[in-house]
Amino acid sequence: EFLHQMTTSQVRRLFLLLFAAGGDKNDEMGSGLGDSSGVGGACDDIQIVIEKNLSHGQISNKRIGIIGTVAYAVTRSAELLDQQNSMEVEETDATCMPGGAAVASLPIVKDITEKIEKAYSKCQPVISKSALDANMTESNMVT
């Protein structure tokens, strides 16, 4: 409820902090949102707040949802970077894949992509059939 009174920077920092605090990878409950994101616990509630704000009609709410989505992507990307830095990969002819293809197929990357695409779709303008019909009628009258 107080998110609307915060600046963009404050909202971003809050989401980053909440994801960092709630993103325990050892949480066996998962995210509870039907995905394999590997985040759980408090992140479920954060995702609900993001989804609620993205679904809201006012631009100020969508702003909060977008900031939350980007904070989620940043947090998950940092986890991916940590995983890549901690893994020792043996480079043999049998297991060599181009880095981009290998990374793009990882569940974390797919999860990040899905969240961003979902946020993007929620922010698209919705043109109702009646508005479209009214626009067509007006254009027919002009010609």
Please give the share of the chain, as a percent, with pLDDT higher than 70. Answer: 62
Task: Name the pTM for this structure.
Answer: 0.67
37 vs 9: CA distance, rounded Å: 25
Report residue 2 CA to chain centroid gap: 21
pLDDT band at 16 (very low <50, low <70, confident <90, very high): very high
Mean pLDDT confidence for 11-37? 65
Tell me what the pLDDT averaged over the chain comes to.
75
Indicate whether 23 pLDDT > 80.
no
DSSP 8-state secondary structure symbol assigned to residue 105: T
Is the per-residue pLDDT at 6 higher than 50? yes
pLDDT value at position 100?
58
30-64 residue pLDDT tens: 443 444 444 555 678 899 999 999 998 889 999 99
Instruction: Give 88's contacts (C-beta < 8 A, 6+ positions apart).
Output: none
pLDDT of residue 30: 41
Q: Which burial class, exposed, middle or buried, applies to 111 when counting CB atoms under 10 A from its CB (0-12, 13-18, 19+)?
A: buried
The per-residue pLDDT for range 60-100, each reduced to its tens digit, is 999 999 999 999 999 998 888 887 787 755 444 444 444 55
Helical H runs in 4-106?
A: 8-22, 42-55, 59-86, 99-104
Residue 77: CB partners within 8 Å, gap ≥ 6? 108, 112
Placement of tokens 């990374």 in the chain: 103
